[in-house]
Structure 1
Amino acid sequence: MTVRVFGSLEDVKNALNQPLGPSAWLTVDQGRIDAFADATGDHQWIHVDAERSATGPFGRTIAHGYLTLSLIPHFGQQLFHLDLGQARINYGVNKVRFPTPVPVGSRLRAQADFVDLRHNAAGAALTTRYAIEIDGQDKPACVAETVTLVLEQA
Structure 2
Amino acid sequence: MAQPVTIDQLREQIGSERMSDWVEVSQAMIDQFADATGDHQFIHVDPVRAAETPFGGTIAHGFLSLSLMPMLAARTGAPPIEGVRMGVNYGGNKVRFLTPVRSGSRVRGRFKLRKLVERKPGVWEQVQEYTLEIEGEEKPALIAEWIALIYV
What's the TM-score, normalizing by structure 1? 0.91
Alpha-carbon shift at residue 4 of structure 1 (Å): 5.7
Give the number of aligned pairs.
149
In structure 1, what is the equivalent of residue 70 of structure 2?
Answer: 73
Secondary structure class of the residue paired with 2:8? helix
Aligned residue type for 1:45:
F
Q: What is the CA deviation profile of residues 71-103 of structure 1, one whole-angstrom value per residue up to 9, with x for unaligned ones?
A: 001110011243232211111111111110011
In structure 2, what is the equivalent of residue 139 of structure 1?
Answer: 139
After superposition, residues 49-60 of structure 1 pair within 5 angstroms as: 49-60=46-57
Q: Which of the residues 15, 29, 34 maps onto 1:32?
A: 29
Aligned residue type for 1:10:
D
In structure 2, what is the equivalent of residue 104 of structure 1?
Answer: 103
Aligned residue type for 1:55:
E
Unpaired segments of 5 or more residues in structure 2? Answer: none
What's the TM-score, normalizing by structure 2? 0.92
Give structure 1 regions of 4+ aligned residues with deviation exceeding 3 angstroms. Answer: 3-6
Aligned residue type for 1:77:
A
RMSD across aligned positions (CA): 1.4
Aligned residue type for 1:7:
V
Question: Quick one: distance in 1 between partners of 2:37 and 2:4?
Answer: 34
Higher mean alpha-carbon deviation, 115-124 vs 129-138, is at 115-124
The answer (yes or no) to whether the contact 2:7–2:81 under 8 Å persists in 1 is no
Secondary structure class of the residue paired with 1:82? coil
Higher mean alpha-carbon deviation, 83-92 vs 135-144, is at 83-92
Higher mean alpha-carbon deviation, 140-149 vs 61-70, is at 140-149
Question: Quick one: distance in 1 between partners of 2:59 and 2:86?
Answer: 35
Q: What is the CA deviation profile of residues 2-49 of structure 1, one whole-angstrom value per residue up to 9, with x for unaligned ones?
A: x7655211111110011112x111111110000000000000110001
The answer (yes or no) to whether the contact 1:6–1:12 under 8 Å persists in 2 is no
Aligned residue type for 1:11:
Q
Question: Quick one: distance in 1 between partners of 2:37 and 2:124?
Answer: 31
